[in-house]
Chains A and B, each alone.
Chain A
Amino acid sequence: MAKELLKGNNAMAEAAIRAGCEAYFGYPITPQTELLEHMAARMPELGRAFVQAESEVAAINMVYGTACTGKRVMTSSSSPGVSLMTEGLSYIAGTEVPMVLIDVMRGGPGLGNIAPAQGDYNQMVRGGGHGDYKSIVLAPASVQEAIDLTVLAFDLAEKYRAIAVVLADGSLGQMMEPAELPEMQPLRKGTPDWAITGEPGRPRRLLTSIYLQPEAEETTNIRLQRRWLDVEANEVRYQETYLDDADIALVAFGTAGRVALSAVRQARAEGIKVGLFRPISLSPFPVAQIRQLASRVRSLLVVEMNAGQMLDDVKLAAQGACPVEFYGRMGGVVPLPDEVLAEILRVSTHPTADLNGHTRAAWLDRLEAGRGGN
């Protein structure tokens, strides 16, 4: 397939269709709506299921229904809508059925705004709904990567009977870039041996997330945790740029990773030995890789479009091997490469400034000073 100029939201929708998604349920919310609209046009055309649900609560429960049949199914939303979906996500995780969720994040908390943000990291990576479960969370930084990770999400969801999230943001959803879509995959014939299909001639099947006996519920939890160890062992993904000789490593995902890379290139031009570590799988998190990185650079600088939600994971992974600094913008403000460059320059001249300090307090002081009373 040749490269085309594609909008992120449409590209992810079409990628899902070509990955064999047989049912889509969603509810309009900016900056994700084009994804739903693409599905509204394409799914019926292909004889596949599309329903504009009455709410995100209903949408995720429709997904739950189809997921129980073993057919490939997805929904998409943006931050406030994803908050509403967390009930269903917990049930789906507890029932061990596969699904894909695309979250095109926007500014928050509350109704917030429709600008790009990364404030759903905790909600997606740390579970979101009640109980002990983890979702696979993949963070693209370009339209091409959004396409590729959407296809991968379906495969991983199925492989681990888990929720796979593509965590994009408003800028990735809205931007247009040249990218290549995959070939149309044929729909899979047959269904998994656990699927609810109402098929005659075999013993009945049940799918549920209720286990009244605590020991039985614990058994389910043990199975989920064991499966997650497999995910951690096999599905860590990341990208390293200019890290071979780096003194400073930036850690940033998604759009923030893209901005950080521009800043890294500018800093390199000024002779600063800085590189970028970009986690692609936020969950499972590249713990061992960051631990290793922390032991060979002077400082880590985490850049996010939130108040440092991934920062906590980076600090845990670094285990104090080097100072971990932070720069973030919130509420839908996208940091400019120049701002990040200034942070790189600061860290390169004061390499241990933040080892014992309060990372967030120091960052807020700098942020407010930089905003000049805006």
Chain B
Amino acid sequence: MLTTDIQNAKVVYERPEGFTDLTTHYCPGCTHGTAHRLVAETLDEMGLREHSIGVASVGCSVFSYNYFDMDFVQAAHGRAPAMATGIKRVFPDRAVFTYQGDGDLASIGMAEIMHAAGRGENITVIFINNAIYGMTGGQMAPTTLPGMKTTSSPNGRDVETQGYPLRMAEILATLDAVSYSVRRSLHDPANIRKAKKAIRTAFEAQRRGLGFSMVELLSSCPTNWGMTPLDSLAFIEQKMVPAFPLGDYKVVDAVKSMKMKEG
């Protein structure tokens, strides 16, 4: 019989304070939830939860504002960086962040993300790259891999007519005012830990006023990829990572020399 020694039990895993009590609407095996948790934990650890303003985007994460226990607004499709600009410019001492998918950030919102980064807006962008439009049911995204089947590239993405995926971490890294632009993945615990560290660095950079920071996270969409959650994680590792290499594309010296208290 299973017995539990309550007295000597130790909490090793709990809901971050930065979360509300709601259960998320994400599909089983979707790593949006993982990314949410990393952001909430980071803001908790930095003591920023009550000083943060989140900007939700349009995509599966449209309701992310329901899950984070902090002030939130909900932007139009692609416009989250512009909305965050309008907030940060009048509340420079708040931690302002956007949470955007790849259709939102790299397609309809390309101008807004490039120019927010180009201006060096002191905000943090959490960018979920799942190579597909999740919310609308699996159409091709600007990050869809060559040959990958989606509902709007039923024969696979044809690079002759539909071009190649956009690598946002690399593209943003070319801009002078960007302090931090990196890519991480959510496909296994070791990578998740690295992703968390990167998110922490990005928010630290913002806290120190170092300018625009972005963490791109390779993420799964089992539903629209038509895979089991486990196969989805393998797909990230085997197919997405080679196309979107993990790494630090820009870390300015001021960010490199930051000393962070480990949470």
B141 to chain A, nearest CB (A): 20
B24 to chain A, nearest CB (A): 15
Complex Cα distance A63/B72, Å? Answer: 16
Q: Is B69's beta carbon under 8 Å from chain A? A: yes
| Given known A54-B112, A61-B83, A64-B75, contact A208–B90 (CB-CB < 8 A) | no
- CB contacts (< 8 Å) of B84 on chain A: these are 65
Decide: A51 and B94 in contact? CB cutoff 8 A: no
Decide: B70 and A198 in contact? CB cutoff 8 A: yes
- CB contacts (< 8 Å) of B94 on chain A: these are 197-198
What 0/1 readout, one digit per residue, does chain A (37-59) give for beta carbons within 8 Å of chain B?
00000000000010101110111
Q: Is A91's beta carbon under 8 Å from chain B? A: yes
Q: Is B115's beta carbon under 8 Å from chain A? A: yes
Q: Is A67's beta carbon under 8 Å from chain B? A: yes
Most chain A CB neighbours (cut-off 10 Å) among B74, B86, B87, B114? B86
Decide: A207 and B89 in contact? CB cutoff 8 A: no
B65 to chain A, nearest CB (A): 6
Decide: A69 and B90 in contact? CB cutoff 8 A: yes
B51 to chain A, nearest CB (A): 5
Q: Is B71's beta carbon under 8 Å from chain A? A: yes
Complex Cα distance A54/B116, Å? Answer: 9
- CB contacts (< 8 Å) of A25 on chain B: these are 85-86
Decide: B79 and A58 in contact? CB cutoff 8 A: yes
Q: Is B73's beta carbon under 8 Å from chain A? A: yes
Complex Cα distance A90/B83, Å? Answer: 14
Complex Cα distance A210/B72, Å? Answer: 13
Q: Is A300's beta carbon under 8 Å from chain B? A: no
Tell me the dominant secondary structure on chain A's binding face.
mixed
Most chain B CB neighbours (cut-off 10 Å) among A59, A67, A200? A200
Q: How many residues of B contact A (CB 8 A)?
A: 36
Most chain B CB neighbours (cut-off 10 Å) among A57, A88, A198, A208? A198
Complex Cα distance A285/B56, Å? Answer: 37
| Given known A69-B87, A69-B90, A71-B90, contact A196–B82 (CB-CB < 8 A) | no
- CB contacts (< 8 Å) of A53 on chain B: these are 82, 115
- CB contacts (< 8 Å) of A91 on chain B: these are 76
Decide: A206 and B72 in contact? CB cutoff 8 A: yes
The closest CB in chain B to the CB of A58 belongs to: B82
Q: Is A373's beta carbon under 8 Å from chain B? A: no
Complex Cα distance A209/B72, Å? Answer: 12
- CB contacts (< 8 Å) of B95 on chain A: these are 198
Q: Is A201's beta carbon under 8 Å from chain B? A: yes
Q: Is A73's beta carbon under 8 Å from chain B? A: yes
Tell me which of A54, A66, A196, A210 contacts B115 (CB under 8 A): A54
Chain A contacts with B in 85-114, Cβ cutoff 8 A: 87-88, 91, 95
Tell me which of A62, A69, A204 contacts B72 (CB under 8 A): A204
Decide: A200 and B90 in contact? CB cutoff 8 A: no
Q: Is B53's beta carbon under 8 Å from chain A? A: yes
Q: Which residues of A contact B (CB under 8 A)?
A: 22-23, 25, 49, 51, 53-55, 57-59, 61-69, 71, 73, 87-88, 91, 95, 196-201, 204-210
A-B contact pairs, 9 of them (CB 8 A): A23-B89, A25-B85, A61-B83, A61-B112, A196-B87, A198-B52, A200-B51, A207-B74, A208-B74
Per CB-CB distance, the 8 closest pairs between chain A and chain B, nearest first, are: A65-B86, A200-B50, A61-B82, A208-B74, A62-B86, A198-B94, A65-B83, A61-B79
